[in-house]
Chain A
Amino acid sequence: MEQPGLAHARAEALILDDLCKEFEGTEQEGVVAVNHVSLTIQPGEFVTVLGPSGCGKTTTLRMIAGFEKPSRGNVFLGARKLNAMPPDKREMAMVFQTFALWPHMTVYDNVAYGLRVRHTPTAVIKNSVEMVLHLMNLVGVEKRLPSQLSGGQQQRVALARALVMKPQVLLFDEPLSNLDAKLRVQMRIEIRRLQQRLGVTAVYVTHDQAEAMTLSDRIVVMHQGRVEQVGTPAEIYQKPASVFVADFIGRANFIETRVESTHNGTARVTVFGRTLNVPYAGELRAGDEAYAILRPEAVQLSQTTGDARGEIRQATYLGSQVEYDVETGERTLTVIDHEPWAGHVFSEGTSIGITFHEASLHLLPRPNAHH
């Protein structure tokens, strides 16, 4: 079912050009919340800004929305510079963490509000609102007040209120964090489906990597106000650009190693006795200290064979998977087995062989290691 009526007419790229934001602190020094962020978001793209709490995600989003003024840098929509434009003129819509539904207005009035502000004819408003309520599965609750809705319904109304404006850009600030886990999964599928159907550009802020992975065309990983990496979910996971990203996204074993030689974007290193050519990110030369990133699920345990041997220190049974801490003598390795059917759960103290998938390895320069 196509809904051409809700798509925005224009399609322009959203460009963040060297955005900085410094807040006046209590002391002489201010807080640098956002530090030289540059990014081009294509029309119709779904970009997630992912990072730990306090890394500057919300501040970035609010600069796009126009609620914060950049201390430096520009926001462009296509060729138009938005810096001095107030939030109400930006043709963007935002879904808030707290939903921010007006408690004194009915569902219908909440959704219709933006159109009324635009002096849209009543008949057109009625049409658009009914369409979007239908789209959001909200038919029948139009006359209710937000306080008479469930959390999931409130979330839908907040989304409907944003969509009905046919925004060029949809902004989300952790919109699912007030929902319970099941509903969260359901809503993120729905958000993705809607965004694709309408072809609207979306910027979505979250600290939840599962959300970022499932929703995004591209993920922007932020850390302490800076962009650490921009890439597709697979790139971010498989080829993290920094130790922070490798550590923040998923689980990782950091295996110290030394580069023997480099060739064509790969470096020759020895890991668990196997000498391999491994792709790397950043700058690496022969003789440099490096980390080989080994994902826990890329390791296989076997009682008979293995590149190296270790001993199970701890086994944590989680139903769908088993997590092991394996002591190899040099380090403790985290291993995750996703197929733990009966008999495959090793008990603590078992001596075990370790094999790993060569293709899963990824190299990063070791910070603070002297060359």
Chain B
Amino acid sequence: MKRLLAFLRDPKSMLIAAGIVLLIWFGVFPIGLLVLKAFQVKQGWGLDNFVAMYADASNLRAIGVTIQIALLTMLASLLASIPLAWLVARTNLPAKGLLRTLVVAPYMVPPFVGAIAWTYLANPRVGYLNRILRALFGEDALTVDIYGVGGIIWVQAIFYLPLSFLAVSHALKKMDPSLEEAARMCGASWWRTLRDVTLPLMAPSIIAGGLLVFVAVSATFGVPAIIGLPAGVQVVTTRIVRSVYVGTPEALRQSTAMAVVLMGMALAILAWANWFTSKRQYTTITGRAARLQTVALGKWQNPVAILAFSALAIFTLVPLGSMLLTTFVRTMAEPPGLDNWTLKNWQAILSADKTWNTLRVSFLLAITTATLGLIIGFLISYFKVRTHHPLRQVPDWIITFTYGTPGIVIALGAIVAFSGAFGLNLYGTLAILIVAYLARMLAYAVRTLNAALEQIHPSLEEAAISCGADWARATRDVTLPLLGPALISAWFLVFIRALYELTMSVLLYSTTTMTAGVYLYDLESYADPQSSAVLSALILILVLGSSLLMQWATKGKVAL
């Protein structure tokens, strides 16, 4: 009883309780409601929706294709990122810094922009690659067709490569180099060392990184919509979006069931990966600076470098280049050239009100989400790292849960929960987009801030308090300045993602709240390649500019 009273009297309790209530109301409630809805049938509860969903062969096919794509994308990106990470971390390859930048750079390219870029290169009819092939080998030359399952895997493997690469590199960096040296002293060659020591020790991190890719890919909408739909390939997300657009109650019920299946899969995988890595965390940071002798590639040095660099350049720079080229093409029926050159595409897009309206919406959303995310994220992180309150972990758990939930599920849940049936009607407003964005993106801010706060020893704050500063003053004078770069990067990490969000926006936008990403998707569906090239280029420039700004503002401390 006494404990309860003390708990209630603590002002932190009120704040934390209010926070938890809000997080549950806006984060957990919509998701929970959607799950309930999936089990709701005409009279009472049951599995009818799931049965109906599975009875439809095209639903089953969509689930199968989704898993197939996610699995193969995961394998492809791991197969590429393990040797790349090893080359960067453990060999004497020239210009390793540049190589790393090239691998990681696609992280800053919205995946659907990457997909659009690839269509200019590998559209079977007018793609530049196919034009070149036909010019070289005649009309019956091999045709490279980006549309279809293969293309989706290809593009996603490239644009999700940074995710697995960063996981593998991180594990390599954290490993005590003397573990590898010990194997060398036991007579193992560098290759045996890699096989017997390095890879087994990194296995948990590699698997976790791969599963991260799997979950992200299975929940994404942009790439499969742009590259899959023209070839009639449906994945779970595209099917859900379509049935919401169609809007019949039957289709909605089935897509709710499908969304719940997707969510169950994602959360189960993430939970397992979490458990697995925490159980088998071998790699540890040692106090000593890592100064592992690098493997001399000898005569392979230059061939390997050329191969790695040209592959990365071709996979990302060439498609983005062809996208830029397309913005100046008058008609796609002709190959690009001096007589097929125009500035009209740019003029048309830049003079259209819709461009500026959608960009304004995107910026407004991104700035609001990032700012709210920073404030809420700081509170969550501060409570978790700095206090001993019994509930301090709960907000972190909630946002980890909403972060792991596929965006499409959050968007569907927000529609169900905030369309007036429960006293709050946000449908068609910016607010519903912000709520959904925050549910998915708060975790980015919180993780960045957690890591930074854990680095700042509490004694620094306590020293300020012992000098007579109160808690607020100590936070303002000591903690916040020390957190500076982390605060900036937390804001930008959310800002950039919100700027190019598509999966949730596609379900939640209204005519007045259409984002630039949705507008681009619209243009793409109406088969207006030049206009979508221009808008893609605009979005890309804004996103890249923001990330450069972030690098500058944090003095380069935020390396991806």
Contact = CB atoms under 8 A, between A and B. Distances in A.
Interface in B165-186: 176, 178-179, 181-186
Given A103-B282, A104-B200, A104-B282, A68 B185 contact: no
Interface string B180-220: 01111111111010001100110000000000000000000
B286 interface: yes
Contacts of A239: none
B299 interface: no
A100 B185 CA distance: 11
Nearest to B186: A114
Contact of B184 (A88, A101, A118): A88
Contacts of B189: 86, 88
Given A67-B293, A68-B293, A96-B178, A87 B185 contact: yes
B188 A88 contact: yes
Interface in A29-44: none
Given A67-B293, A104-B282, A117 B178 contact: no
Interface string A90-101: 001110111011
Contacts of A117: 186-188, 192
A94 B185 contact: yes
B182 A100 contact: yes
B185 A104 contact: no
For B181, B190, B286, B288, the residue with the greatest tally of chain A CB atoms inside 10 Å of its CB is: B181
A113 B196 contact: yes
A19 interface: no
A162 interface: yes
A173 to B, nearest CB: 8
A87 B176 CA distance: 18
B181 A87 contact: yes
B255 to A, nearest CB: 44
Nearest to A104: B200
Given A102-B197, A104-B282, A94 B182 contact: yes
Contacts of A104: 200-201, 282
For B187, B192, B286, B293, the residue with the greatest tally of chain A CB atoms inside 10 Å of its CB is: B187
Given A113-B186, A113-B196, A117-B192, A102 B179 contact: yes
Contact of B176 (A93, A100, A165): A100
Nearest to B196: A113
A165 B201 contact: no
A159 interface: no
A65 interface: yes
B201 A100 contact: no
A93 B186 contact: yes
Interface residues of A, number: 28
B173 to A, nearest CB: 16
A93 B178 contact: no
A295 interface: no
Nearest to B204: A104
B179 A100 contact: yes
B178 A161 contact: no
Contacts of A114: 185-188
A68 B177 CA distance: 14
Interface in B512-526: none
Contacts of A86: 184, 189-190
A161 B196 CA distance: 16
A298 B224 CA distance: 85
Nearest to A171: B185
A98 B183 contact: no
A93 B188 CA distance: 12
A97 B289 CA distance: 13
Nearest to A96: B178
Contacts of B179: 100-102
A88 B201 contact: no
A187 B201 CA distance: 29
B178 A97 contact: yes
Contacts of B178: 96-98, 100
A28 B463 CA distance: 41
Contact of A103 (B185, B187, B201, B293): B201
Nearest to B183: A113
B427 to A, nearest CB: 53
Contacts of A118: 187
A280 B181 CA distance: 44
B243 to A, nearest CB: 47
A162 B286 contact: no
A59 to B, nearest CB: 10
B184 A98 contact: no
Contacts of A65: 181, 185
Contacts of A93: 185-186
Contacts of A96: 178, 181-182
Contact of A87 (B184, B200, B286): B184
A325 B185 CA distance: 49
A58 B412 CA distance: 60
A68 B186 CA distance: 17
A71 to B, nearest CB: 14
A88 B186 CA distance: 6
Contacts of A165: 185-187
Interface in A60-110: 62, 65-68, 86-89, 92-94, 96-98, 100-104
Nearest to B193: A88
Contacts of B190: 86
A64 to B, nearest CB: 11
Contacts of A162: 185
B282 A88 contact: no
A273 B420 CA distance: 104
Contacts of B185: 65, 87-88, 92-94, 114, 162, 165, 171
Contacts of A100: 176, 178-179, 181-182
Nearest to A94: B185
Contacts of B182: 94, 96, 100-102, 161
Contact of B286 (A89, A98, A103): A98
For A98, A162, A165, A171, the residue with the greatest tally of chain B CB atoms inside 10 Å of its CB is: A98
Nearest to B180: A100
A167 to B, nearest CB: 8
B39 to A, nearest CB: 43
Contacts of A101: 179, 182
23 contacts: A66-B184, A67-B181, A67-B184, A88-B186, A89-B187, A94-B181, A94-B185, A96-B182, A97-B288, A98-B288, A100-B178, A100-B181, A102-B197, A103-B201, A104-B201, A104-B282, A114-B185, A114-B187, A117-B186, A117-B188, A161-B182, A165-B187, A171-B185
Given A86-B190, A94-B182, A100-B182, 10 more contacts: A87-B181, A88-B185, A88-B189, A89-B187, A97-B178, A100-B176, A100-B179, A113-B188, A117-B188, A118-B187
Closest 7 CB pairs of A and B: A114-B186, A100-B178, A100-B182, A96-B178, A87-B184, A94-B185, A103-B282
Interface of A: 62, 65-68, 86-89, 92-94, 96-98, 100-104, 113-114, 117-118, 161-162, 165, 171
